[in-house]
Structure 1
Amino acid sequence: MATDSGNWRDNILKQLQNRNKNETYCFQDLISQHIRVFENANVLRTENLQLSIQNEKLSCGVGTSGDSGQQERIQQLEKKLLNQADELAELHRRKGENAQQIIDLNVKVLEKDKLLAAKDMSLAENAAKIISLNAEVSLYEKSNQELKYLNDTLRDEHQALQMAFTSLEEKLRKVQDENRQMVERLIKYKAKDADRMNEENDNFLNDGAKHITTVLSTFGLFRKRHAKMQKEIEEACREPREVSPNTFPEGFGPVCQLTVPSKINVKFDAHEGEVNAIKWSPVDRIVATGGADRKVKLWDISKGTYESKGVLVGSNAGVMAVDFDPTGALILGASNDYASRVWTVIDQRLRVSYLKYCKI
């Protein structure tokens, strides 16, 4: 501990000595000149005091003796005293000038210190900026290295994809060649099959001409027989017979007269294609039809004409069967997409106002 205390004291002393040396170096000449002026002033002050004493002594001696030699000596001493006083005044003037120079130099030193402090501050700021810029440069270098690595990786992937694309193009060309060869072979086989089918068709036409003639003659006989039967049924319907009530057994009434429909009441195209199902509504004169166009349609035929009352959609295949519930508010439709759907019909004055369906 004693050694450490001695060290810091020595360091402080050395620092103070260096500071004094650095601060007095610029003014060393001025200080030495100032010291010389003070020394000269002290010497002159001492000489002036001695001359004053001698002058007093001489003045006392002249009053008593009146010697002319001493008067001359006194005059010389007075002249010398005046010269010394002039020199002393000049030294005081030079002392003032030197003091003013010292003050001016101290002001300049303060200004230089302020300028040096500002320079030091700007240097510190620039050093901080340099540090931040070095950090940014390191970050940019790191990001540049990462981008280079990514670029290399992408270049490798691109080369790999280019090679894969080349191999796939080669495979595609081979597959196209094989496909072309297979198409050519298929065309040849098709031509052979067509020739064979043509031969078989010719043989079938030649062999079955007699059979077709026989079938046509049989079909003509069947048509004649069917027309004769229809004519007999119409004549039987036009000639009603009176039946006595006594001819019926007990508990049975007379048989009503039956007539075969002779004309169509209403005919219309319900769907764009085949009509697969039809169902009467149990409540109103509404007919529901289902067709191959994947729709269920509602028709009003109460006035002897047909009028569309709504189209129920939602099926993904042709509707094969339709049916109403006992209230006529629900319609069930079955289609070829392996699903059955229920539509809700709210009927107001034979007008469908709301339709929806749910898949079962």
Structure 2
Amino acid sequence: MQGAERRARDRGGKTAWKTHIIRQLRHRDRAQHAFQELIQSYNKLLEKSIFLKDLTEKIQTEPILSPGSLHAARILPEGAPDPPTLQQEISELRVYNGELAYQACELKKRVEEQDEELKRQKCSLSFLSARVEEHKHQGRCLENETAHMVCSNADLKEDYDHLLAQRLLLEGKLHDAEEQERELLGDMTRKKAMEAEHQNIINERRKEEMLRRLVGKALRKTVSADGIESSDSPQILLFWPPALPSVSVTLDVIQRRHTDVSDSSSSLEVSNSHEKERPTSRKTRSQSLISLGPSRVMGALRSLFDFRRQQDDGGVDDGWYHPSSVCVICCPPNRALYSKEVHDSEVHAVKFSPNSRTVATGGTDRVVKIWGIVAGQLHLQQVLQGSNGGITSIDFDPSGAQVLAASFDNSAHLWRLDSKSSDKLTGHTAKVTAARFKMSSYRAVTCSMDRTVREWDLHKASCIRRISVPSFCSDVVCSDSYMISAHHDKKIRFWDSRSPDCSREVTLEEKVTSLYMEPEQTQLLSCSRDDALRLLDLRTMSERLVFRADGFKCGCDWTKAILSPDANYSIVGSSDGTVFIWNAQSGVLERSLTGEHSASVNAVAWSVSGDYVVSVDRGKKAVLWSEY
């Protein structure tokens, strides 16, 4: 009985303290608000666990009493649980304490992480707050600037309105002045036309009187080039200007100067027969001119009367000979007669007309200017407008009445000097680099950086043939049967008018900047960026000569080189402003002209008469050169 009662008390006591612990834990869980309270509770629980551990160890060290040993049973305190049950509860408490410790560590770790995150957020918040303040300050500054700009714009608008009103007023005045200028020019033109007509009548009368006197003298006696009289056939000794040789011709040649070449040739043969009968000890200058052939003799005769007419038209003989279109032999120029800034910006192109008394220039100021050579100077005669881009090349038709120019506005422009009308050849999609007449006044060829070469009918201003090429085209020359184009891929291509394909190619060392074909169409001169000029024989398609010189450097991709009218010299300008002249027969450097150009020389032109050379450069200047 006593043992049963004791066990009942032990079970009741065991249940009571467990319940008490669970109640306290639940109360703690409900009451705790911070991690510190959890630590305190954990410490208290740990103390209790240590106490129970000591108690358990003490119980285990005491001997186990048998049921019959009543004295030993009375030693245990009243209400203490049995040893096996207490050991199990201690184990459960250890497991629970471990879980609580793990949870406490996890919570501590999370608290530390949250503290770190809070610190980072505080730093970010401080940085963003500073940025916000900075942006607010910038916003206030921008608002102040906006207000200032609004005021400034209002002032500028007021000034603009005032200037616009002044511009409209000045444009009205300019229009009135232009109207007055046109009226004055019209009056002056009419007056000059009347004066010119009157002067032409006087000149014709003078010419007829001079011819009558010459014919009268010829009928009275005969004078040869030696000054010896003869009675075989009447002859006249014509004394020419200093630039042309004198010539002894029969009276029949003068009377029939407008007949065909065969009649003129027969008359010259008669004169030559008389010359052979004279002694050979004295050579006359007439023989050198007669040896040139009947056509050039007749041209020289016409040039004599043209020269007389020019002197009569001018009213006063200025002492300068205006060269004819007959070129017997060329001599390289050695001095500059005249230099002048001919355009508002750099000059790219220059070309003489067939009469050798007119030269055209073009540049990046989008105009072509026509200059007359009078007394060794350039005098502006006409300004051709209509291009919307810089001028790259210029060409005259065989009659000299039309000017064809290539332009950077993707087109070529045709001006008729007699009627002052113009046409625009459109169709290219890139800069037109060259434009040339095809030995006639109604056919032309253009090349462009759009990799095409086009042939044009100038009567209709329409393209009649289009050739696609594999590279940028820098220049083109042509005859009636074929065309030759220069390209940036270092090649010269030949195109037959009867075939759409390239018939021949010639490869150089660098890209080709220009081509020039002599009038006889037997030689082709090329200029390339390897600082060399090459002369090709078109009959054998072989390279005859290569022209190089110390100091010569090709200045740009459109530098133009040409041959003299008699094809005895090649001439080109250098990047340092020097003009180089080579002998086209030997390849030796004949002469270099310096001292006039201070910028790269882009192009040169040699008059058909052989008397003048004009060079133009990137510094707006044109220089007129001559041998005399």
Question: More strand per residue: 1 or 2?
Answer: 2
- Structure with greater helix percent: 1
**What's the TM-score, normalizing by structure 2?**
0.31
Choose 1 or 2 for highest CA Rg.
1
Instruction: Flag the structure with more relative contact order, 1 or 2, with Cα contacts below 8 A and sequence separation at least 6.
Output: 2
TM-score using structure 1 length: 0.49
